[in-house]
Chain A
Amino acid sequence: MAEPEPTTAAAAPAPGRLRNAFGGVLCAFTLLLIGVLAFSIRLFSVIKYESVIHEFDPYFNFRVTQFLSKNGIYEFWNWFDDRTWYPLGRVIGGTVYPGLTLTAGSIWWLVNALNIPLSVETVCVFTAPIFSANASWATYLLTKEAKGTGAGLMAAAILAMVPSYISRSVAGSYDNEAVAIFALVFTFYLYLKTLNTGSLFYATLNALSYFYMVCSWGGYTFIINLIPMHVLLCIVTGRYSSRLYIAYAPLVILGTLLAALVPVVGFNAVLTSEHFASFLVFIILHVVAFVYYIKGLLTPRLFKVAMTLVITVGLAVCFAVVAVLVALVASSPTKGWSGRSLSLLDPTYASKYIPIIASVSEHQPPTWPSYFMDINVLAFLVPAGIISCFLPLSDASSFMVLYLVTAVYFSGVMVRLMLVLAPAACILSGIALSSAFDVLTRSMKFQLSKVFNDGSAVSGDSIAEGSTASNDTKGSSTSTVNTNSAKIENRTEKSEKPSKKNRKKDREVTGSVPVKPKKEKRLSVLPLEASVVGTLLLIVLGGFYVVHCVWAAAEAYSAPSIVLTSRSREGLHVFDDFREAYAWLSHNTDVDDKVASWWDYGYQTTAMANRTVIVDNNTWNNTHIATVGTAMSSPEKAAWEIFDSLDVKYVLVVFGGLVGYPSDDINKFLWMVRIGGGEFPHIKEPDYLRDGQYRVDSQATPTMLNCLMYKLCYYRFVETDGKGFDRVRGYEIGKKHFKLTHFEEVFTTHHWMVRIYKLKPQKNRIRGKLKKLKSSSKTSSTLAAGRKKNPWQ
Chain B
Amino acid sequence: MPKAAGDAKLLIQSLSKAYAATPTNLKIIDLYVVFAVATAVVQVVYMGVVGSFPFNSFLSGVLSCIGTAVLAVCLRIQVNKDNKEFKDLAPERAFADFVLCNLVLHLVIMNFLG
Binds B, one of A59-67, A77-85, A251-259, A597-605: A251-259
Q: How many A-B residue pairs have CB under 8 A?
A: 100
Q: Which of A167-201 contact B (CB under 8 A)?
A: 198-201
Asked if A296 lies at the interface with its beta carbon under 8 angstroms from chain B, I say yes
| Interface size class, chain A | 20 to 34
> Smallest CB–CB gap between A281 and chain B, Å?
14
> Hey, what's the 0/1 contact readout for B44-85 against A, CB within 8 Å counting as 1?
000000000001100110010011001101110110001101
Asked if B101 lies at the interface with its beta carbon under 8 angstroms from chain A, I say yes
Q: Which of A226-264 contact B (CB under 8 A)?
A: 241-243, 245-246, 249-250, 253-254, 256-258, 260-261
- Residue B112 contacts which of A207, A250, A257, A294 (CB distance < 8 angstroms)? A257
CB of A245 within 8 A of CB of B104, answer: no
A309 to B4, CA, bound (A): 10
A242 to B77, CA, bound (A): 7
Please name all residues of chain A whose beta carbon is closer than 8 Å to the beta carbon of B10 when the two chains form the complex: 302, 305
Asked if A270 lies at the interface with its beta carbon under 8 angstroms from chain B, I say yes
Asked if B15 lies at the interface with its beta carbon under 8 angstroms from chain A, I say yes
CB of B59 within 8 A of CB of A260, answer: yes
CB of A241 within 8 A of CB of B85, answer: yes
Q: Is the interface of B mostly helix, strand, loop or mixed?
A: helix
A257 to B11, CA, bound (A): 38
Asked if B29 lies at the interface with its beta carbon under 8 angstroms from chain A, I say no
A299 to B100, CA, bound (A): 37
Asked if B1 lies at the interface with its beta carbon under 8 angstroms from chain A, I say no
Please name all residues of chain A whose beta carbon is closer than 8 Å to the beta carbon of B82 when the two chains form the complex: 296
> Smallest CB–CB gap between A250 and chain B, Å?
6
A257 to B106, CA, bound (A): 10
Asked if B35 lies at the interface with its beta carbon under 8 angstroms from chain A, I say no
> Smallest CB–CB gap between A476 and chain B, Å?
26
> Hey, what's the 0/1 contact readout for B82-109 against A, CB within 8 Å counting as 1?
1101100100001011101100110011
A242 to B85, CA, bound (A): 8
Asked if A583 lies at the interface with its beta carbon under 8 angstroms from chain B, I say no
A158 to B77, CA, bound (A): 39
CB of A204 within 8 A of CB of B108, answer: no
Asked if A12 lies at the interface with its beta carbon under 8 angstroms from chain B, I say no
> Smallest CB–CB gap between A291 and chain B, Å?
13
- Residue A204 contacts which of B66, B73, B104, B109 (CB distance < 8 angstroms)? B104
CB of A200 within 8 A of CB of B78, answer: yes
CB of A246 within 8 A of CB of B74, answer: yes
> Hey, what's the 0/1 contact readout for A303-314 against B, CB within 8 Å counting as 1?
001100100000
Residue total for B at the interface (Cβ-Cβ under 8 A): 39
Q: Which of A284-318 contact B (CB under 8 A)?
A: 289, 294, 296-299, 302, 305-306, 309
Please name all residues of chain B whose beta carbon is closer than 8 Å to the beta carbon of A249 when the two chains form the complex: 70, 73-74
Asked if A267 lies at the interface with its beta carbon under 8 angstroms from chain B, I say yes
Please name all residues of chain A whose beta carbon is closer than 8 Å to the beta carbon of B8 when the two chains form the complex: 305, 309
> Smallest CB–CB gap between A612 and chain B, Å?
34
CB of A200 within 8 A of CB of B71, answer: yes
CB of A298 within 8 A of CB of B104, answer: no
Please name all residues of chain B whose beta carbon is closer than 8 Å to the beta carbon of A203 when the two chains form the complex: 74, 101
A540 to B3, CA, bound (A): 72
CB of A200 within 8 A of CB of B111, answer: no
Interface of A toward B, CB cutoff 8 Å: 198-201, 203-204, 207-208, 241-243, 245-246, 249-250, 253-254, 256-258, 260-261, 267, 270, 289, 294, 296-299, 302, 305-306, 309
Contacts A201-B96, A257-B108, A258-B108 known; 8 new A-B pairs at CB < 8 A: A200-B75, A242-B77, A250-B101, A254-B105, A297-B18, A297-B19, A299-B14, A305-B7
CB<8 Å pairs between A and B, sample of 7: A203-B101, A245-B73, A254-B104, A260-B56, A261-B111, A298-B15, A305-B10
Q: Which 10 A-B pairs have the closest CB atoms?
A: A200-B97, A253-B67, A297-B18, A242-B77, A201-B97, A249-B70, A204-B101, A257-B108, A246-B74, A305-B7
